[in-house]
Every structure is written in structure tokens, then in C-alpha cells.
């Protein structure tokens, strides 16, 4: 996949693009990431990329020319038409499903606007407008990094087997259950005994149940749309009853620290 990031702050991307899994994906030629400095497409010697809003008002507005011409440059560089995403808090909210869709695009352009706003005509360039949540960032750069990171995880080969996206929260519509490593007891906090038994079938079932429990307690909205098997529904029923009992007893999430 080719990803072009159009930004006024290309230097913000180097820690993300040059670290860990994103770096490895590039070394393996699974993704090619190019940051494009919008200032390189300014028309004057001062490299002006923003201007006062027509009609007056506070703040500056990102001019259309640098963005249109940067996209033209990408088209030329590729020799074909990329899929263009504009990062804006007014866009569709990013989800695991959208990230997966984007991962299937051979050529992706992420436009990260900055300043108080951008000229409305820039919207005409975009096939999709994306937000990463209901809060406002000072610029689209962090959002572009989030979109990039969330998407490339779905490109086959980017994650190793042990990192597989299949086991993640959301991959099957449920949250991941709890995980533990050694020691088996720390400050009186114990690892659930079932995990120490080596009974793989029982452990699988326990993990599925705890994934359902966690989703019920934290994101019941996800549970409503997840496609649960008959066995999942039985586990859900058990979890609901256990949680009722726990509530009556005043449960504290297994955090009874004793030393």
C-alpha cells in the first residue's frame, strides 16, 4: 500500500513512521509512506498556506491551492488515482471496520489540515472525511497517525502471528478478556486458577466467557450487535447471573490486595 500524508508538519510523523511495527512494515515493503509538505506547494516566496476568512471572523483558513496541487503531485507520482481521506472532526468516526476498508486501498492520501479551518473547496478532493472521536485536536496530524496505525495492522503480513489482529478487541465485535503472566500470585493478587491447569478446552471456554463478561460490563452496546453463537449466549446468561450475585456481594474486580 502507498500512503501519502499531506501536512504542514511532516516532522511530526517521523516517530510513528520510523518506529516499531510501522517501520518494520515499510522495511518489508508492505507499505510505502511518503510525507508531503504542503508548504512546498505554496505560491509565494513567503510560503503562505493560510489566509484570512472571507466575510471576516477569527483565525486563519488553509488555502485551497497547496492542497489541490499536492494531490495533483501525488497523482503524478503514482500514475493513477489514489483514495483521498480528509481528516476533520466533522467526518465519520473511525472504527475497526473503516480501518480495515482503508487497508484494502492500494493508494491512500491522508490530508491533515491544521489551523482553525480549511477552505471548504478542499472537501471536493476527498472520497471520505474521517474523525477519530468527538473532541477537537489542534490539527489533523495526530488523527492521520491514528488512521495510519489502525489501518496498516490489517495489511496481511504487517503483524506477526503473535500480534495477529484476529485476537484483538473489536475483531469479533467483543472486547478482549483479561490476560496474565507470571508470577501466579503478586501482593496477594492471584491469577485465575483455571489458567494454571493446562486444560486447553476449559481455558478457551473461560477466555470466551471473560471476553463476553468484559463486553457486557464495559460496552453493552457492542454486545447487542455482536453475532454470538448459541454457546456464547449460554455463557452470556451465566455471566449475567454471576454479575447479579457479584453486585449483591459488592465485588471489587478481584483487586483485593493483601500485601
Q: Is 233 a catalytic residue?
A: no
First vs last Cα of the chain: how many Å apart? Answer: 51
> How do strand 83-93 and strand 107-112 relate by DSSP bridges?
parallel
Q: Is 116 a catalytic residue?
A: yes
Q: Which of 30, 137, 195, 226 binds ligand 6GU (CB under 6 A)?
A: 137
Write the DSSP symbol of residue 224: H
Within residues 75-114, the interface with ligand 6GU by CB under 6 A covers 87-89
* Minimum CB–partner distance for residue 200 and ligand 6GU (Å): 42
State the number of binding residues for ligand 6GU (CB under 6 A).
12
* Minimum CB–partner distance for residue 88 and ligand 6GU (Å): 5
Please answer whether residues 16 and 123 qualify as being in contact, where contact means their C-beta atoms are separated by less than 8 angstroms. Answer: no
Residues 193-204 as b or e (16 or more Cβ within 10 Å = b): eebeeeeeeeee
From 14-22, 42-50, 138-146, 251-259, give the range in contact with ligand 6GU by CB under 6 A: 138-146
Who's near 68: CB < 8 A, 6+ residues apart? 122, 125
Three-state DSSP class for residue 197: coil
Contact between 132 and ligand 6GU per CB under 6 A: yes
Contact between 36 and ligand 6GU per CB under 6 A: no
Who's near 236: CB < 8 A, 6+ residues apart? 212, 216, 223, 228
By CB atoms closer than 10 A (0-12, 13-18, 19+), residue 6 is buried
Contact between 135 and ligand 6GU per CB under 6 A: yes
By CB atoms closer than 10 A (0-12, 13-18, 19+), residue 222 is middle
Within residues 174-203, the interface with ligand 6GU by CB under 6 A covers none
Q: In what order do the strands lie in the sheet with 128-131?
A: 32-37, 2-7, 107-112, 83-93, 128-131
Which residue number, 108 or 132, has a Cβ lying nearer to ligand 6GU? 132
Q: Which of 4, 61, 63, 131 binds ligand 6GU (CB under 6 A)?
A: 131
Q: Which of 15, 59, 97, 133 binds ligand 6GU (CB under 6 A)?
A: 133
Contact between 122 and ligand 6GU per CB under 6 A: no
Which residue number, 136 or 255, has a Cβ lying nearer to ligand 6GU? 136
Which residue number, 69 or 129, has a Cβ lying nearer to ligand 6GU? 129
- DSSP-assigned beta bridge partners for residue 118: 62
Q: Is 168 a catalytic residue?
A: yes
Active-site residue, from 66, 153, 210, 232: 153
Which residue number, 150 or 223, has a Cβ lying nearer to ligand 6GU? 150
Active site residues: 89, 116, 153, 168
Question: Which parts of this chain interact with ligand 6GU (CB under 6 A)?
Answer: 87-89, 131-133, 135-137, 139-140, 143
Amino acid at each position: 500500500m502507498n500512503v501519502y500524508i499531506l501536512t504542514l508538519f511532516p516532522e511530526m510523523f517521523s516517530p510513528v513512521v520510523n518506529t516499531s511495527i510501522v517501520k518494520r512494515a515499510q522495511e518489508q515493503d508492505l507499505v510505502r509512506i511518503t510525507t508531503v509538505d504542503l508548504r512546498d506547494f505554496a505560491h509565494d516566496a513567503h510560503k503562505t498556506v493560510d489566509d484570512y476568512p472571507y466575510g471576516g471572523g477569527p483565525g486563519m483558513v488553509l488555502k485551497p491551492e497547496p492542497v489541490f496541487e499536492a494531490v495533483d503531485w501525488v497523482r503524478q507520482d503514482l500514475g493513477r488515482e489514489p483514495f483521498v481521506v480528509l481528516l476533520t472532526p466533522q467526518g465519520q468516526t473511525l472504527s475497526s471496520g473503516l480501518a480495515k476498508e482503508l487497508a484494502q486501498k492500494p493508494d491512500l492520501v491522508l490530508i491533515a489540515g491544521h489551523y482553525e479551518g480549511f477552505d471548504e473547496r478542499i472537501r471536493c478532493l476527498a472520497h471520505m472525511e474521517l474523525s477519530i472521536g468527538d473532541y477537537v485536536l489542534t490539527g489533523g496530524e495526530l488523527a492521520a497517525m491514528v488512521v495510519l496505525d489502525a489501518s496498516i495492522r490489517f495489511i496481511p503480513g504487517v503483524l506477526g502471528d503473535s500480534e495477529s489482529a484476529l485476537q484483538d478487541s473489536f475483531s469479533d465485535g467483543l472486547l478482549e478478556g483479561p490476560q496474565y503472566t507470571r508470577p501466579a500470585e503478586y501482593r496477594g493478587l492471584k491469577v485465575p486458577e483455571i489458567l494454571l491447569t493446562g486444560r486447553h478446552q476449559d481455558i478457551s471456554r473461560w477466555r470466551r466467557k471473560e471476553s463476553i463478561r468484559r463486553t457486557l460490563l464495559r460496552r453493552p452496546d457492542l454486545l447487542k450487535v455482536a453475532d454470538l453463537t448459541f454457546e456464547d449466549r449460554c455463557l452470556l446468561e451465566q455471566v449475567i447471573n454471576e454479575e447479579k450475585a457479584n453486585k449483591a456481594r459488592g465485588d471489587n474486580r478481584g483487586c483485593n490486595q493483601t500485601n
